[in-house]
Structure 1
């Protein structure tokens, strides 16, 4: 294992602030091509009794200025239908490679899945149930929406299908701020979508907000959050603004504000004071989660099946996906390849990242530590047969007052949680960093 020196942790934190969002490890820009392997072989030795099914719909009605996700502007129903044809071929191939398998969670993201017509939305859920046996009526299911597509017809369909969580990116209630983000929205459309979402009364309703614009103040930031609480969501995500290459903001040379940390703290304190519990740097909730009786899913040890162009799949030793791009030409080329892929080729993986023992430990550490549940030493030892305290600079985290240990669980303090976007990148291996730096974004 590559050692991590305690002095390097101090140095790294001293020179980095809001470095990168470590929502998964390794990052998709560390992926590379490798000789094709069959999915049957990839999954043969894996646990398949509590999988996560993720379906990625790579279409939006507009491209937000801050967005670097795998998506493109596409409103044409015919193109959506072609995509679903390919998705059905992929589902056939994947399902035959996984037998037997059962699912504990399901999510539909993108892109904006609710850009699909009601007919195509129904088809999406039908093919997932037909080939995977995954239905929102039986397991918790989340769907991403947008103000422009969250119509009462579509949301009612999601409710009828059993969807338990919907998420909408509001970003700000101040029009000048959403315009500055490259995400203009009509107030009438936004409020209609919020009304429709509230009327459908999903068990979990999430709203997303972004902070870090140069002109954003604590007063304007809290105005948006106060406005959000008037709608009574039971989950709110607070995202720091990142200016990434090839995005709309990146291409025009936009800059982040200098008060991002102050905005984060103000938002965190406000939500806590209003009954929200902090689950991670970004997630705040005042609900109990998926609900009683739902199958358990553990992100550190259970697998994920990604379906659709841009989706990633996770096994214990291999992460794989289609290729990744941000610019419209690159996304379209990958999407064209996906929609022309045969069922036989969908049964193979040839692009991704093989995780050795060291990388698996790093992934476990990052996913545990950046969550409010923290790093359970016994859980780590059961997984790897070693003690995390002997392998990572965890004492240094405590000395810096970024974490505390209680009953064998290490949890970040407030000071540590606000450094999540530095701690995640810090624990990345040299090999992953090198591959990320060598990635050519298109």
Structure 2
């Protein structure tokens, strides 16, 4: 018999969002990793990577390589990327990446234990912006320098319709990619243009045909809702067009318009109108996918029923919020996660700043890669918050018994105000010994997540100067 989870009596919340108060909008913050890079700060004398990694388990690492290049910059994009990089820039980037990889591998090996990667991902940006030869070099750096066996690891790669060419796909297939995710966003040309993403459906369909022919174990198609003029009828066109390719996964993303992006000066809707549109389209898309043979694993992720998740060697599936200690990041903009420190490089959104940071990365002396640079120190309280976000925002939910086993404290005691708010809003329920978001709670995931941010993270993010 499953033991039920004791829950406190709901109380009317009266505190700010970060301590459990009423969320202001369903779309407060996309929580794909905690904390956000805006909370990181430059260290005067960062610790040596060899010291950081000496305290970590090294036989089940994840490798993330950030390729900061795209053929175009979508109007909603606030990722760390630049467009139109010539080959001399991409070549120089790969040269620096190899230098960084050698230093990082040395730091991992300093502990004297076997180093093994079970997960790998190439993101960006658009990794397939690189030519086929450059992709081959990137794979060689990952395998021959970092020692990641890509064919043995669960390996995910991001691509786009314009860059999913036959020669690039052939490299990914030959090197053993297990999951390829393509950012389509909309199959309707007018909607794509409204999102400042100039693409033609003909090009999209042709790229999908090439990906299907390559028969990757998992094909994921990204779609966006909340585009100006988008309705349930037009969203259904994109949903059905995606489903026709029988993808193993479909990701549904709410459109965000952030400072310094192409849409930041064009969006005319009031926040209330836009929230209503996005919530309607989300619910429509969710219900359409659930009735089409897919299961929901988080707010954004829908997996075709009967499709095995892309697993690591230990059988644990890749999570949208997978950021346990043991993530090794390479490339400008990539983050690394150890138990006590999350670290990365400088970060920006504005085009001139992104280009400057990429140029600085390429010019970085090799010795500087031996130390953490931009970082956020993870104390016990921050690790609790990260753990909650990793579990609560997934459909499997958070098990209070497991939380107590890890931290020797009770979830209800540590996060009472947040728990009270979630119960008051009926966004949370007890199910099979776990606390899981309800359907409506899942719809508000981007408001639920920030409720668990610490005051320190909120303050750092508020103090960050957008650039």
Structure 2 match to 1:28 = 37
Question: Which 5+ residue runs of structure 2 have no aligned equivalent?
Answer: 1-10
| Aligned Cα root-mean-square deviation (Å) | 1.9
Cα deviation, residue 360, structure 1: 1.1
Structure 2 match to 1:117 = 131
Contact 2:128 2:159 in 1 (8 A): yes
Structure 2 match to 1:49 = 59
Mapping of 1:354-369 within 5 angstroms?
354-369=377-392
Residues 359 and 14 of structure 1: CA distance in aligned 2, closer, same or farther (over 3 Å)? closer
* 2:343 counterpart of 1:325: no
Secondary structure of the residue aligned to 1:184 is coil
Structure 1 match to 2:452 = 427
Secondary structure of the residue aligned to 1:417 is helix
Contact 2:191 2:228 in 1 (8 A): no
Structure 2 match to 1:153 = 167
2:84 to 74, 94, 103: 74
Mapping of 1:74-93 within 5 angstroms?
74-93=84-103
2:429 to 404, 423, 439: 404
Q: Distance in 2 between matches of 1:395 and 1:260?
A: 26
Q: Distance in 1 between matches of 2:155 and 2:332?
A: 20
Secondary structure of the residue aligned to 1:214 is coil
Q: Distance in 2 between matches of 1:243 and 1:116?
A: 27
Contact 1:300 1:368 in 2 (8 A): no
Residues 13 and 275 of structure 1: CA distance in aligned 2, closer, same or farther (over 3 Å)? farther
Q: Distance in 2 between matches of 1:337 and 1:390?
A: 46
Cα deviation, residue 292, structure 1: 8.2
TM-score, with structure 2 as normaliser: 0.90
Q: Distance in 2 between matches of 1:288 and 1:382?
A: 29
* 2:284 counterpart of 1:266: yes
Matched positions, count = 439
Contact 1:70 1:331 in 2 (8 A): yes
Question: Which 5+ residue runs of structure 1 have no aligned equivalent?
Answer: none
* 2:47 counterpart of 1:37: yes
* 2:379 counterpart of 1:372: no
Q: Distance in 2 between matches of 1:307 and 1:118?
A: 20
Residues 254 and 94 of structure 1: CA distance in aligned 2, closer, same or farther (over 3 Å)? farther
Mapping of 1:160-309 within 5 angstroms?
160-253=174-267, 255=269, 257=274, 258-286=276-304, 287-290=307-310, 293=313, 296=316, 299=322, 301-309=324-332
Cα deviation, residue 293, structure 1: 5.0
Secondary structure of the residue aligned to 1:23 is coil
Cα deviation, residue 269, structure 1: 0.3
Q: After alignment, is 12-21 or 331-340 more displaced?
A: 12-21
Contact 1:311 1:322 in 2 (8 A): yes
